[in-house]
Structure 1
Amino acid sequence: MQAKSLKPYAEPLDEIAQEAVARMKSIRNENNMIENNLLDEFMSYVLEFTGIIALGRRFYAFDPNLREGSLTPILLRNVQDFFALSDKLDFQPNLWRYYPNKTFRTAMKFLEEAEKLNVKLLRTAMEELKKNPKPEEKKGVLEKLAEINEDVALAFADDMFFVGVDTLANGMISVLYLLANNPDKQTKLREELMSKESRRPYLRACIKEAARMRPVAFGNLRLTTTEYNIFGYEIPKDTMVLFCHEHMSLREDQYPQPNQFIPERWLVDKNHPLYHGNAHPAAAVHFGYGARGCVGRKAADMEMEILISRVIENFRLEWRGKPMAVYQSVSNHNMAPYNFIFNDV
């Protein structure tokens, strides 16, 4: 996905981010904390982003007047069920590989129903686009993909909903958590945002540093298609190889002071001891790379930057209590309680 294809979404995504901030202000308690499940909250924000990019429509996921029977809670539940079932099938002892037990049958039924819903949403979106065609320069991702192949457009929408919503919501919470625990970095970021400069290098550096320290994807798994000899290690064909970025990106020999949140490492020149380019190129490639890289990376970066910007512009974040734990499954999940304090700036 090219960055220029995302330009038409900048304004509607920013409108959603501002609505999300207003929602956060309205649901704070007397201590400026949000008692709702913060991950669910952020998933609803990301669902709105995803609806705009993948389908060209809003779901109004955090509308207090949401009608009963709306698609929104169904879509959010589908995402949650997808990860819960994946955890049971892939990370817990299970016999489904030998015979289709109840867990496997439940998963297949769920995926079938979820796929039907996604197809229905995509078909509706495509019909709307045909009725109201846009000029070439205003066409978004969905239109351009569908013109090439509708099956590809559906696969893209599936990935955005099933994989993108949960992971991006967790990634956003990680960035805010590290900023809340590093008030000097938070202040520096806010100063950059308030300057209204179009370039925001420190914002991007904060996001990269959070991905290094608390990656959503702990690694990338690949199947070798030929034999390899890497530094004397013989790797046969058809071997599963795990690139464990979570471990590599926290090694002292790759990133000095690895447990410190230092966004500046992504901005200093190559003569500085913290320069990120001194690390191995594969030490922190959490989106993958090459032909198998994450197709939604540009969209995820854009969504992250827009929402984080609006949150930091409006709130001075603090963290109260114990460090936020992480549960490792198909991806890394930030665990409740989410003890953020959202003070007005």
Structure 2
Amino acid sequence: MLSASSRCGRQVAVALSRGHATAAAAAVKGTTAEPTEEWLRAKPFEELPGPKPLPIIGNTWRFLLPSGDYKTTDMANMMFEMHQQYGDIAKLVGIPGRRPMVFCFNANDVEKVYRNEGPRPVRDTVQSIKYYRGVTRRDLFGDVQGVATTQGEQWYEFRRRVNQPMMQPRSSKLYVPSIDQVAQDFTDRMLAIRDESMKMPPDFLNELNKWALESISLVALDTRLGCLDGNLPPDSEPQRLIDAVQVMFDSIYRLEMRLSPWKLVSTPTWRRFVRALDYFYETSMKYINAAMERIKAKGEDSSGDLSVLERLLLQNDDPGVACVMALDMMFAGVDTTSNAAAVCLHLLAKNPEAQERLFQEVLAQLPQSPSQPLTAAKLEECRYLRACFREAMRLKPIAPGNARRVVVDDFVLGGYRIPKGVDLVMGHPQLSVSEQYFPQADQFRPERWLKGPDGKSEAQSAHPFASMPFGFGPRTCIGRRFAELEVYTLVARIIRRFRVELEGDIQWRTGLILFAASPLKFKVIDRDR
């Protein structure tokens, strides 16, 4: 018996052979709508290159068996291999529990996906968090699920409520003094944990996690948690929060990216995940409730600039909106930001000329001493600092890819018909290091992002969709401004105070995000001015 797709394919072939273009399109789309010429010219989805699934087990064996193509636990490496094997567009089907996926490795195709996503883009949700909030702890979250787990009108309404406090430039600028103080405290701590050889300890990434948590808690919870206070005991609240975030990221990767029966039975990974989320929720809510009490105490006569949390609470009738947004900020603002800072420091340590140029730029803004106030205006003048971060995120983007789901009936990509419901994955880690888009793509050259005398930068000649570390459009990273502020401030403070060197290289791996898979072997030497 012919499958539905086979019958459909034969109907199309017959219709086209007889010259009935409209009938052919209707056979594919199941509709009488007038087809586009692009759709009629495109090849069927079945012809799209990609690993062929086997009966029953599909493509699962490629990830599990020793003989499989994608044994690696590194998501970015798997995508690099697919690009090398199948070209600029490839499909992956036959993975239990996953929709068909199409990987896009051409910037023109990526742009087309983003340009056609509409005001309510759909992407694959984090199913484990969605289940936790919508089923396991629905008594706590109700219908307020946040931006990571919702779609359509529910997502749009939540995003509309939080966009202004989160995305306005003035919102992040209000935090420059307090975020800068955290960065200064961190450089003081670097002195305390440095050994006699000027080396940072092997667990320096955990120290960066402490800095990131302390920074984002200022925004999300209106408080400092004390993450930089001496050596935190393993059972201290800040360290337990950091551990919870790492458990969450590791568990999500295991639950979402690997075969796991967690939707059917409670697995050990699922139980660890729930315990971590429970602790994270309970601890965060303690500080959110304290902020709500402060707002009540102020009353209607509140004056001065309001914090992001205060604005979220005051501008929404439902306090759950502010609570969930604060939780999402805390959840997404630790490992991502700490590893972004680590990448930037790693590349500056490997490129001493770029580090010296950055030092001279920061020195011009803080000429008297490293402890001078770093204001928003001074940060604006640090153009090379921003270029260093932009170049670091081009070479090693924290997110391994961005995804969108096809929601129209006649979408064509790379010359192929893409059915409604397919997940499109944009291969930004591959695009951003391609010589096709960036000359000397493997080199750390921050100056490519700086404008020359003609008012243009070298990077402006590259495809605008080749490097997009924070995504694009309505679903762009909602915490971008705060993440950038935190990394800019920390890197400026460290480079102003220390010369950073590398003792051996650092290994990186991509799971749910890019992370340091080996110790951060930094050596920091005091500046003499």
Aligned alpha-carbon RMSD (Å) = 2.2
Query: Greater CA deviation, 23-32 or 95-104?
Result: 95-104
Q: How far, CA to CA, are the matches of 2:445 and 2:359 in structure 1?
A: 16
1:187 to 356, 362, 369: 356
1:104 to 260, 270, 283: 270
**Aligned equivalent of 1:26:** 192
Aligned AA for 1:39? L
Would you say 1:155 and 2:324 are equivalent positions? yes
**Aligned equivalent of 2:525:** 343
Q: Provide, for residues 168-222 of structure 1, a one-character-per-residue CA deviation record: whole Å limited to 9, x for no partner.
A: 0000000000000000000000000010182111000000000000111111122
Q: Provide, for residues 311-333 of structure 1, a one-character-per-residue CA deviation record: whole Å limited to 9, x for no partner.
A: 00001011122x31111100011
Instruction: After TM superposition, give the deviation of residue 110 of structure 1 in Å.
Output: 3.4
Mapping 1:1-345, distance limit 5 Å: 1-64=167-230, 70-132=236-298, 135=302, 137-149=304-316, 150-196=319-365, 198=378, 199-227=381-409, 228-269=411-452, 275-321=458-504, 323-345=505-527
- Structure 1 contact 224–239 (Cα < 8 Å) conserved: yes
Q: How far, CA to CA, are the matches of 2:233 and 2:348 in structure 1?
A: 36
Q: How far, CA to CA, are the matches of 1:194 and 1:71 in structure 2?
A: 37
Instruction: After TM superposition, give the deviation of residue 270 of structure 1 in Å.
Output: 10
Instruction: After TM superposition, give the deviation of residue 141 of structure 1 in Å.
Output: 0.9
Identity of aligned residues (%): 34
Q: How far, CA to CA, are the matches of 1:223 and 1:194 in structure 2?
A: 47
TM normalised by structure 1 equals 0.93
Aligned AA for 2:515? H
Sort the Cα spacing of 1:65 and 1:96 in 2 relative to 1 into closer, same or farther, 3 A.
Answer: closer
Sort the Cα spacing of 1:221 and 1:156 in 2 relative to 1 into closer, same or farther, 3 A.
Answer: same
Sort the Cα spacing of 1:181 and 1:272 in 2 relative to 1 into closer, same or farther, 3 A.
Answer: farther
TM normalised by structure 2 equals 0.62
The unaligned stretches of length 5 or more in structure 2 are 1-166, 366-376
Sort the Cα spacing of 1:66 and 1:177 in 2 relative to 1 into closer, same or farther, 3 A.
Answer: closer
Sort the Cα spacing of 1:291 and 1:248 in 2 relative to 1 into closer, same or farther, 3 A.
Answer: same
- Structure 2 contact 221–284 (Cα < 8 Å) conserved: no
Query: Greater CA deviation, 18-27 or 193-202?
Result: 193-202
Q: How far, CA to CA, are the matches of 1:68 and 1:232 in structure 2?
A: 55
Q: May I ask how many residue pairs the two structures share in their alignment?
A: 344
Aligned AA for 1:48? E
Query: Greater CA deviation, 32-41 or 87-96?
Result: 87-96
Q: How far, CA to CA, are the matches of 1:68 and 1:252 in structure 2?
A: 46
**Aligned equivalent of 2:121:** none
The unaligned stretches of length 5 or more in structure 1 are none
Query: Greater CA deviation, 112-121 or 50-59?
Result: 112-121
Q: How far, CA to CA, are the matches of 2:431 and 2:448 in structure 1?
A: 16
Tell me which structure has the larger Cα radius of gyration: 2
**Aligned equivalent of 2:368:** none
Indicate the SS of the match to 1:256. coil
